[in-house]
Structure 1
Amino acid sequence: MDDSSTLQKVAAEVIGTFVLVLFGCGSVVYWSETAGEPAFVSTTTTVGLAFGLALMVMIYAFGRISGAHFNPAVSVGAALGRRLPWNQVPTYIAAQLAGAILGAAVLFGLLHGFDGFSAEGNMGQNGFGDASVGGYAMWAALLLELVLTMIFVWVILAVTDERNEHPGLAPLAIGFALVAIHFVAIPATGTSVNPARSIGPALFAGSEAIGQVWVFVVAPLLGGAIAGYTYDLLFGETRPRAAAGAFAPPGAVPGYGAPDQYQQQWNEPAAAAPHQQHQWGQPQWTPEQIAAWQAQQAQAQPGQQQGWPDDEGDAERTQIRPPR
Structure 2
Amino acid sequence: MTVLQKSLAEFLGTFWLVFGGCGSAVISAAFPEVGIGLLGVSLAFGLTVVTMAYAIGHISGCHLNPAVTIGLWMGGRFPAQEIPVYIIAQVAGATIAAAALYLVASGNADYSLAVNGLASNGVSEHSPGGFAIGSGIAIEILLTFFFLMIILGATDGRAPEGFAPLAIGLGLTLIHLISIPVTNTSVNPARSTGPALIEGGIALTQLWIFWLAPIVGAILAGIVYKIMGGSGQEIVGTEN
Q: State the TM-score, normalized to the length of structure 1.
A: 0.71
Distance 1:131 1:147 in 2: 20
Letter aligned with residue 83 of structure 1:
R
Matching of residue 144 in structure 1 with residue 139 in structure 2: yes
CA distance in 1, matches of 2:122, 2:2: 37
Match of 1:238 in 2: 231
CA distance in 2, matches of 1:120, 1:149: 29
1:26-48 deviation line (CA, Å, top 9, x unaligned): 0011122212x2xx232110000
Identity between Structure 1 and Structure 2 (%)? 43
Counterparts of 1:215 and 1:223 in 2: how far apart (Å)?
12
1:30 to 6, 19, 27: 27
Amino acid corresponding to residue 220 of structure 2 in structure 1? I
- Does the aligned pair in 2 maintain the 1:13–1:96 contact within 8 Å? yes
Instruction: Indicate whether 1:79 and 2:73 are aligned.
Output: yes
Structure 1 segment 285-324 matched on structure 2, within 5 A: none
C-alpha spacing 1:262/1:239, structure 2 compared with 1 (3 Å): closer
Letter in 1 for 2:84: P
The one-letter amino acid of 1:238's match is S
Deviations 1:265-320 (A, max 9, x none): 89xxxxxxxxxxxxxxxxxxxxxxxxxxxxxxxxxxxxxxxxxxxxxxxxxxxxxx
Q: Which of 90, 112, 118 is the matching residue for 1:96? A: 90
Give the one of 126, 129, 148 matched to 1:131: 126
User: SS of 2:163's equivalent?
Assistant: helix
Question: Residues 138-177 of structure 1, C-alpha deviation per residue, up to 9 Å, x if partnerless?
Answer: 011001000000000010000101111x220100000000
Alignment of 1:207-222 (within 5 A): 207-222=201-216
1:196 is aligned with what amino acid? A
Residue of structure 2 aligned with 1:182, choices 163, 168, 176: 176
- For 2:27 and 2:94, the matched residues in 1 are separated by 18
- Out of 82, 107, 113, the position equivalent to 1:119 is 113
Q: Which of 18, 23, 28 is matched with 1:21 structurally?
A: 18
CA 15–167 in structure 1, closer or farther in 2 if over 3 Å, else same: same
Other structure's SS at 2:231 match: coil
Q: Which has the higher contact order (CA 8 A, sep 6+)?
A: 2
Identify which of 44, 55, 66 aligns with 2:49. 55
Q: Could you say which residue in structure 2 is the equivalent of 1:8?
A: 5
Structure 1 residue 118: deviation in Å? 1.8
**2:157 is the counterpart of 1:162:** yes
CA distance in 2, matches of 1:215, 1:25: 19
Spell out structure 1 runs of 4+ moving beyond 3 A.
none
Distance 1:115 1:89 in 2: 41
Deviation per residue, 1:82-139 (Å, 9 max, x gap): 1001001111111100110011011011111111522125111011111112210101
| Structure holding more helix per residue | 2
Q: Unaligned stretches of 5+ in structure 1?
A: 242-260, 267-324
Tell me if the contact between 1:119 and 1:206 (Cα under 8 Å) persists in the aligned partners.
no
Partner of residue 262, structure 1: 236
Q: Which runs of 5+ in 2 are unaligned?
A: none
Q: Distance in 2 between matches of 1:183 and 1:194?
A: 15
The one-letter amino acid of 1:208's match is I
Deviation at 1:239, TM superposition (A): 5.3
- How far residue 240 of structure 1 moved from its aligned partner, in angstroms, is 4.8
Q: Is the 8 A contact 2:69 2:83 kept in 1?
A: yes
TM-score (norm 2): 0.95
